[in-house]
Chains A and B, each alone.
Chain A
Amino acid sequence: MIEVVDIHKRYRGRSVLNGASFTVEKGQITCLIGINGAGKSTILKAIMGLTPLKSGTIRIDGQPMDKNLYESIAFIPDHLTMPPGMKLSEGLRFMQDFYQSWNANRAEELMKFFSLDQTERIGNLSKGTAAKFNLVLGLAQDTEYVLMDEPFSGIDMFSRGLIAEVFSSHLIEDRGVLLTTHEIGEVEHLIDRALLMKDGSICRDFQCEQIRSEEGKSIVDVMREVYQS
């Protein structure tokens, strides 16, 4: 379980995170929802140790973030983070060289699934193709958790369909997934739990199925209540 407890962060004099607390369970797809600038990406970066916090604690399976935990938690940022001069094959080789959790067979499977050409240079990829390769790099690791920052942002509808297919496949099963989005429509049917962010903290935390069956509300309905009230 990923535990985020009372985290605070200021950026350029503005309070970006203001006591956000939540957990991410294994076997669930949890979605962090908020308007632009709500601090969703900052939370993912903070979990991965990519930005320091003013206060608060983050634990992964009870442990504070440590270099060895990067073998059990994969991060898929909102853009591809490999040098543009690299070929896709070199990118895969890089991951294999550095991560013990790298699963070359799964990487091969994903490359075929997304129809990616290994000889292509990363710098020449279109946004959609780069997003697919980004997913390959994150999902081909045998990790307990996957963090995804806006996986559908700026991607055409056909590529979105392929990426959405991944969410309901064995590639995600049993893992704890935390993803962020401000376009909930694409992922509403895929997610188990929603965390709504407002003013730097979590203002609603609910199981999507439960709220659908008990209150007859969709995630968008709850979002309207929170953000338009």
Chain B
Amino acid sequence: MNRYLKLVHMEVDRFKYILAGLMSLTLVCQFGAVIWMTMSAVSYRKSGAWRNGGSMDYSYSSSPTGNLSFTDVMSTTQSIFMIPILLSIGVLAIYVFLIWYRDWFGRNTFIYRLLILPTARRHIYFAKLTAILIFIFALVSFQLAVLPVEKSIFNLIVPSDLRDPSYFSDIIYSNPALGMLIPWHFDSFLVYYGIGIIAVIAIFAAILIERSYGRLGILYAILYLGISVILLLFPMFGLGLDDVNGYLYPNEIYTIELVMCVVVMSVSVWLGCRLISKKITV
């Protein structure tokens, strides 16, 4: 356990600059977008163009009074807000592969050292998995923590007589990427993050298959991922969740889907641990 935690610490430490970079980019993009949009909208109002029949698009307001709300600013800065979010998702998706492959490739093959540590090899597997989860939730938490700060900046720029109130749920739903990242309902949270975690675990198993079986391993890994995707999608599409004349009730299909998720996840974890313990080769 102690060595597992040390491995997690080491994995987090190795990603810290990239994580800090993504967080900084989020800050710069989102703060910049909020400040720029809010200041433009406020100066537009102060110039009197609003009262003289200016364009509604340029007013950034859904309020009939012409007042500004933080939700309006979030809504009009969607694309700039999405840039760091999508970039973070992209970087993490690539890092799911890199967290393994960087230890094999390059001048210094760190995997030699990792595999001869006096600890169970499954600790290496779980440390890498834990690190990925830490990065995901660190970025989501950071995004959540930044939103109230951005709202405070908005409040500082917009005079109170030009401001409409905004609610946290409206703020999140004004941006589809944020709505996906921070689902309002707990079951949606479980579904989105559950699918993400299963995908990471299945990819880990595929990487370890590839690393264990040489050139043939690439084929086996692709096959494994293909079978996993089919198993996960079959209950939803094969059994006809939307088909009212279907043989099974939706609840039964959901149960089958849940069982498939548990099966794919369990088999992937078991396979990953077994391969890294018995079959892996450097």
Contact = CB atoms under 8 A, between A and B. Distances in A.
A67 B120 contact: yes
A130 to B, nearest CB: 8
Nearest to B118: A70
Given A83-B14, A123-B108, A48 B116 contact: yes
Contact of B281 (A50, A82, A84): A50
Chain A residues touching B, majority SS: loop
A210 interface: no
A107 interface: no
Contacts of A70: 116-118
Contacts of B279: 52
Interface residues of A, number: 29
A64 interface: no
A89 interface: no
Interface string A66-87: 0111110001010111111100
Interface in A50-64: 50-52
B51 interface: no
A67 B124 CA distance: 13
Most chain A CB inside 10 Å of its own CB: which residue of B108, B281, B282:
B108
B282 A50 contact: yes
B115 to A, nearest CB: 6
A80 B116 contact: no
A194 B221 CA distance: 42
B107 interface: yes
A206 interface: no
Contact of A122 (B3, B108, B120, B278): B108
A94 B121 CA distance: 17
Interface in B81-123: 106-113, 115-121
B74 to A, nearest CB: 38
B121 to A, nearest CB: 7
A16 to B, nearest CB: 12
B179 interface: no
A97 B215 CA distance: 35
A49 interface: yes
Contact of B282 (A12, A51, A84, A85): A51
B110 A83 contact: yes
Contacts of B280: 50, 52
Contacts of B14: 83, 85
A11 B111 CA distance: 20
Contact of A94 (B10, B115, B215): B10
Given A52-B279, A52-B281, A83-B14, A98 B108 contact: no
Interface string B167-195: 00000000000000000000000000000
B112 A98 contact: no
A98 B119 contact: yes
Nearest to A52: B279
B214 interface: yes
Contacts of A49: 115-116
Nearest to A77: B112
Contacts of B116: 48-50, 70, 75
B6 interface: yes
Contacts of A122: 108
B110 A82 contact: yes
Interface of A: 11-12, 45, 48-52, 67-71, 75, 77, 79-85, 94, 97-100, 122-123
Interface of B: 3, 6, 10, 14, 106-113, 115-121, 214-215, 278-282
Given A67-B119, A83-B108, 16 more contacts: A12-B215, A48-B115, A48-B116, A50-B280, A50-B282, A51-B282, A67-B117, A75-B116, A79-B107, A82-B108, A82-B113, A94-B10, A98-B3, A98-B119, A100-B118, A122-B108
